[in-house]
Amino acid sequence: MKKTKVCTRCHKRKALNKFYNHPSSKYGVSSICKECRKFFEKENTKKLRKQLKKKGLLSQYSINFVELRKKVTKKFLIQKYIKENLLPKQIAKLLNCSFSVIYRYLEKFNIPRNQHTGKNHHLYIHGEASRAYYCVDCGKENSLGHKRCSKCVKKFQTGIHATGYRGGKPNCLICGKQLESYGIKYHQKCYWDYAHGENNPCWKGGKPKCKDCGIQLKNHDSTRCVKCRGKFFRGKRNPHYIHGLGDYPYTSEFNDELKLQIRERDNFQCQCCGIKENNHFRAKQKTNLTVHHINYNKKDCKPLNLITLCNKCNLKANTDVDYWFAYYTYLMENK
């Protein structure tokens, strides 16, 4: 086994005794010798102190103990601690050191430490600090110095004596009995019995009547009954009205072969939403894609007038006819 090693800082070969022990290293010794480690530790502490002084983070108690020994003598402590009646913390502020150092010097010089008791204490208030206090309600001793103990305070600060008391819980406006909580005007049962018809705060004059026959309707939003609505929305009044040509049958030209050619031209894909025929067949419809007449004329079976759509998009084209006619013509022209 080797008895010497080269230091990584000074690059000198030295004996293993001149290195600190390090069990996890190869030879059980650290890579830096003792002299180099002490030298670099001193330099690092000096650099750190300079950096901390610049930033203002250096402790106020970091002073030289040689100077402190010259200042802190027995006469100095008797003068400040006994005659001037200063506390150890006040003396430590004068010397910029911790108060624990002052206590050590007091023990060293055999100066009695119990000088700040009773009237000499800086928090003395006419002897009331040592007086016993008792609770007004239960009579038990209270060390905190309050009128009541913690249990009696909780009992006292309820009801009328509470700080947030607002005259108690309100009464129901219908039956006059006291309510269970704040912010409520009625009992739940009273409200449901009373708030019907004209007494309901959301009353809007009742349900409307049909404009044509005068029968009372079930819903507030509707204007006509089912019979009158079916008669009213016929012909040109119907939103799905297509120039009166909706009832005409398809021609013989519009057969399965023509539909297949149009679907092949459009790659078996809906030109509006983009769904493919395989996905459309697997869906709830379970049918192939449909072919739509752009100008809504069933006799016009030219390829430019036909476009492949799914069921949903074909149903949408029956409403707002002018918009879909312009949109699909634009698609066919820009193909």
Residue type, position 249, single letter = P
| Res 116: pLDDT | 61
CA separation for the pair 309, 63 (Å, rounded): 91
What's the mean per-residue pLDDT of the chain?
A: 80
For the 1-58 domain, the top CATH level (class) is alpha beta
Q: Give mean pLDDT, residues 196-221.
A: 77
What's phi and psi for 144, nearest 5 deg?
A: -80, -20
Q: Give mean pLDDT, residues 263-280.
A: 89
Q: What is the pLDDT of residues 307-332, one digit of tens each?
A: 999 988 988 888 788 889 899 999 88
Q: What is the DSSP code (8-state) at residue 237?
A: G
Measuring CA to CA, how many Å separate 124 from each of 81, 99, 128, 292? 17, 21, 8, 101
Cα 124 vs. chain centroid, distance in angstroms?
50
Q: What is the pTM of this model?
A: 0.34
User: 59: pLDDT confidence band, cut at 50, 70 and 90?
Assistant: low
| Res 42: pLDDT | 85
Q: Give mean pLDDT, residues 66-77.
A: 84
More confident: 199 or 74: 74
Tally of CB atoms within 10 A around 178: 10
Domain-wise residue ranges, the chain: 1-58, 65-113, 133-157, 171-204, 256-333
Q: What is the pLDDT of residues 102-128, one digit of tens each?
A: 888 888 888 887 656 666 665 566 655
Q: What is the DSSP code (8-state) at residue 3?
A: -
What's phi and psi for 218, nearest 5 deg?
A: -85, -35
Q: Where are the alpha helices (DSSP H) in the chain?
A: 34-55, 65-71, 74-77, 88-95, 99-108, 150-156, 188-194, 226-232, 256-265, 277-282, 311-316, 321-333
DSSP collapsed to 3 states, 169-220: CCECCCCCCECCCCCCCCCHHHHHHHCCHHHCCCCCCCCCECCCCCCECCCC
CA separation for the pair 149, 113 (Å, rounded): 35
